[in-house]
């Protein structure tokens, strides 16, 4: 299968530190995951670009919500990594507030790609992300990243167990993924393009009473 041309067109558009900074959008897919779960590497592989998303062992550019434009009105969105122990509590609280608000209220958001380390899937923080997002009724696609670090039997067992755990949520799909071996690349890319090609959403997102966009 050839490379996905839509994802290949991704270019950095803007960063947002707070809700009013979010750009207008027709449709967007968000990438979420624990710090160092392989989120940035997954974005780079899916877009066939080496440094589109910043990869680091310390918080940096991903302290912000980063928007990568695909065609001027659709975006891939890199959310701040969560669970990083060295982040000061006040910064962590601010991130969590923005993340929860974005996932629950952002109208153009059509789906979330949740990256989990295949060796440590569905941590309490991963579950929190699902708890925030699943009530919206929008789909979630889980990438069990770094799957190359597990044996074939261990990969199959991990995938089966997580699917069983989440069987009560029909909007959640799960696959194995590896940025190193490119395992699952085409499957993940096809899922994202499927979401973006679905019925266009409004350019505006809801805001709480008394607030302005």
Q: Between 3.40.50.300, 3.30.70.260, 1.25.40.10, 2.40.50.100, what CATH number should domain 5-196 receive?
A: 3.40.50.300
pLDDT for position 57: 54
Q: How confident is the model at residue 211 (pLDDT cuts 50, 70, 90)?
A: very low
User: Cα separation of 183 and 185, whole Å?
Assistant: 6
pTM: 0.88
**Is 50 exceeded by the pLDDT of residue 40?**
yes
> Nearest CA to 176 among 118, 125, 130, 119?
118
**Is 90 exceeded by the pLDDT of residue 200?**
no
Q: How much of the chain, in percent, has pLDDT values that exceed 90? A: 71
Q: Which residue has the higher pLDDT, 89 or 40?
A: 40
According to DSSP, the β-strands at 74-78 and 65-69 are antiparallel
User: Cα separation of 77 and 65, whole Å?
Assistant: 7
Residue 65: CA count within 13 A, CB half-sphere: 27
Q: How much of the chain, in percent, has pLDDT values that exceed 70? A: 85
Domain range annotation of the chain: 5-196
Residues 125-144 have pLDDT tens digits of 999 999 999 999 999 999 99
CB atoms within 10 A of CB 56: 12
């Amino acid at each position: 299968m050839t490379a996905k041309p839509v994802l290949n067109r991704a270019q950095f558009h803007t960063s947002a530190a707070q809700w009013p900074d979010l750009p207008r959008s027709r449709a967007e897919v968000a990438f979420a995951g624990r710090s160092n779960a392989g989120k940035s590497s997954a974005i780079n592989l899916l877009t066939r670009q080496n440094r589109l998303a910043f990869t680091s062992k310390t918080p940096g550019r991903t302290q912000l919500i980063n928007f990568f434009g695909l065609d001027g009105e659709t975006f891939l969105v890199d959310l701040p990594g969560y669970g990083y122990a060295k982040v000061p509590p006040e910064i962590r609280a601010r991130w969590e507030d923005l993340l929860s608000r974005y996932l629950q209220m952002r109208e153009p958001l059509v789906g979330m790609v949740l990256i989990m380390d295949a060796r440590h899937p569905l941590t309490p923080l991963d579950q929190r992300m699902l708890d925030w997002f699943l009530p919206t009724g929008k789909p979630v696609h889980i990438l069990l990243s770094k799957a190359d670090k597990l044996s074939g039997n261990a990969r199959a067992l991990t995938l089966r167990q997580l699917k069983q755990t989440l069987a009560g949520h029909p909007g959640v799909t799960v696959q194995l993924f590896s940025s190193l071996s490119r395992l699952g690349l085409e499957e993940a890319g096809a899922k994202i393009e499927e979401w973006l090609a679905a019925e266009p959403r409004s350019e505006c997102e809801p805001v709480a009473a008394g607030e302005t966009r």
